[in-house]
């Protein structure tokens, strides 16, 4: 018989632990899943990354960004390979990931000290819906433990924004960051300032647009878009404000190339509209249409890291 515990019940049984966030973001079109875990300490995040790389399973890629762990995961099930070091070093990994309606089920294994992570730390996180424990569950010491952790199915939504300011007032990056931090729908994930072509004749000062990403439940996507639209409309100083919307974990190559090239090429509005239509980007006029190119390019640059903030000569 399986024992099912909610996060509050896990805390009552094992005490407060250290996981501060656990988000499971799904892209069903591409079959990709991204699990983001927020740890309370850098060292534990590094240890988890190394051990999860060692075990493999359904984890295709895992990196740490400070105290945050980002894992790209495949749907399905794969065997774990703790390796010969496991008896002395322990280990931790995910052997299965499945979508069940509006939920995601991941099966975690942990050996020795790592079993506390999968048995008490992750299940006690507020973002978890529930955890299923097998009858023979034991953790700590020399035990090997496994649990099924069920989390909400989230979708990544990227909002691109441009032309909310004028030469006298405002800054698109500030408006978009305030919008993201105040949004009551979804989880605010990233804010990117996108440097575009500084020679553009229609720029305000720096020629920057912005991309903001959220992890949001499917049923809240339309509410998120409506909130962002209303916020931009209320706070824009410009009559050219545009927002764009993209859903998914994978930015299409054509869209990424457009975003990067917009840093050095003078595109026409028609060019931006075509790439948006080809790549599943929704263009929404908020107060006008002048920001279409920048708002589409913002989506294309959303996953470029430092390159999003610069121009090509910065990386030569």
Average pLDDT of the residues in 284-302: 96
Q: Which CATH architecture has domain 163-315?
A: 2-Layer Sandwich (3.30)
User: What pLDDT, on a 0 to 100 scale, did the predictor assign at position 86?
Assistant: 47
Q: Is the pLDDT of residue 83 over 70?
A: no
User: What pLDDT, on a 0 to 100 scale, did the predictor assign at position 88?
Assistant: 46
User: What pLDDT, on a 0 to 100 scale, did the predictor assign at position 142?
Assistant: 74
Average pLDDT of the residues in 72-95: 77
Average pLDDT of the residues in 218-244: 96
Residue 114 pLDDT class (50, 70, 90 cuts): confident
User: What pLDDT, on a 0 to 100 scale, did the predictor assign at position 259?
Assistant: 97
User: What pLDDT, on a 0 to 100 scale, did the predictor assign at position 152?
Assistant: 98
Of 105, 37, 119, give the one whose Cα is nearest residue 77. 105
Of 64, 86, 77, give the one whose Cα is nearest residue 108. 77
Residue 202 pLDDT class (50, 70, 90 cuts): low
Higher-pLDDT residue of 166, 192: 192
Structural contact between residues 247 and 160, judged by C-beta atoms closer than 8 angstroms: no
Average pLDDT of the residues in 271-283: 98
Average pLDDT of the residues in 276-296: 96
Residue 115 pLDDT class (50, 70, 90 cuts): confident
Average pLDDT of the residues in 239-260: 97
Average pLDDT of the residues in 157-179: 90
Q: Is the pLDDT of residue 219 over 50?
A: yes
Q: Any idea of the CA torsion for 92, 95, 100, 105, to the nearest 10 degrees?
A: -10
Q: Where in the chain is the domain with CATH 3.30.70.2200?
A: 163-315
User: What pLDDT, on a 0 to 100 scale, did the predictor assign at position 210?
Assistant: 97
Residue 54 pLDDT class (50, 70, 90 cuts): confident
User: What pLDDT, on a 0 to 100 scale, did the predictor assign at position 112?
Assistant: 79
User: What pLDDT, on a 0 to 100 scale, did the predictor assign at position 130?
Assistant: 98
User: What pLDDT, on a 0 to 100 scale, did the predictor assign at position 170?
Assistant: 81
Beta strands in the chain (DSSP E): 3-5, 21-27, 32-38, 59-65, 68-74, 76-77, 91-100, 103-111, 130-133, 144-162, 187-195, 208-217, 242-247, 282-285
User: What pLDDT, on a 0 to 100 scale, did the predictor assign at position 84?
Assistant: 56
Q: What average pLDDT does the structure give for the chain? A: 92
Q: Is the pLDDT of residue 309 over 90?
A: yes
Average pLDDT of the residues in 199-219: 84
Average pLDDT of the residues in 264-292: 96
Q: Is the pLDDT of residue 201 over 80?
A: no
What H or E segment, with its residue span, contains residue 8? helix 7-14
User: What pLDDT, on a 0 to 100 scale, did the predictor assign at position 87?
Assistant: 46
With left for phi above 0 and alpha for psi between -120 and 50, is residue 60 left, alpha or beta? alpha
């Amino acid at each position: 018989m399986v024992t099912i515990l909610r996060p509050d019940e896990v805390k009552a049984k094992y005490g407060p632990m250290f996981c501060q966030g656990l988000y499971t973001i799904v892209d069903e079109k591409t079959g990709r899943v991204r699990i983001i875990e927020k740890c309370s300490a850098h060292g534990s995040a590094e240890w988890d990354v190394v051990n999860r790389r060692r075990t493999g399973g359904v984890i295709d890629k895992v990196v740490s960004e400070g105290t945050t762990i980002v894992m790209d995961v495949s749907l399905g099930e794969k065997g774990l390979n703790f390796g010969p070091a496991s008896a002395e070093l322990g280990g931790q990994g995910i052997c299965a990931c499945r979508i069940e309606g509006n939920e995601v089920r991941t099966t975690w294994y942990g050996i020795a000290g790592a079993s506390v992570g999968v048995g008490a730390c992750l299940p006690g996180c507020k973002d978890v819906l529930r955890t299923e424990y097998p009858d023979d569950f034991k953790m700590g010491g020399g035990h090997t433990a496994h649990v099924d952790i069920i989390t909400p199915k989230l979708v990544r939504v990227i909002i691109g924004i441009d032309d909310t300011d004028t030469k006298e007032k405002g800054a698109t990056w500030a408006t978009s960051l305030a919008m993201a931090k105040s949004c009551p729908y979804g989880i605010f994930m990233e804010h990117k300032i996108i440097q575009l072509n500084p020679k553009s004749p229609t720029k305000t000062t720096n020629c920057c647009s912005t991309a903001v990403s959220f992890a949001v439940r499917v049923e809240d996507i339309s509410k998120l878009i409506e909130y962002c639209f209303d916020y931009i409309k209320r706070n824009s100083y410009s009559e050219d404000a545009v927002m764009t919307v993209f859903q998914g974990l994978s930015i299409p190559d054509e869209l990424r190339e457009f975003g990067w090239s917009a840093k050095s090429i003078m595109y026409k509005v028609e060019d931006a509209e075509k790439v948006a239509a080809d790549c599943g980007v929704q263009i929404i006029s908020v107060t006008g249409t002048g920001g279409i190119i920048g708002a589409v390019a913002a989506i294309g640059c959303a996953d470029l890291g430092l390159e999003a903030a610069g121009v090509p000569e910065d990386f030569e």
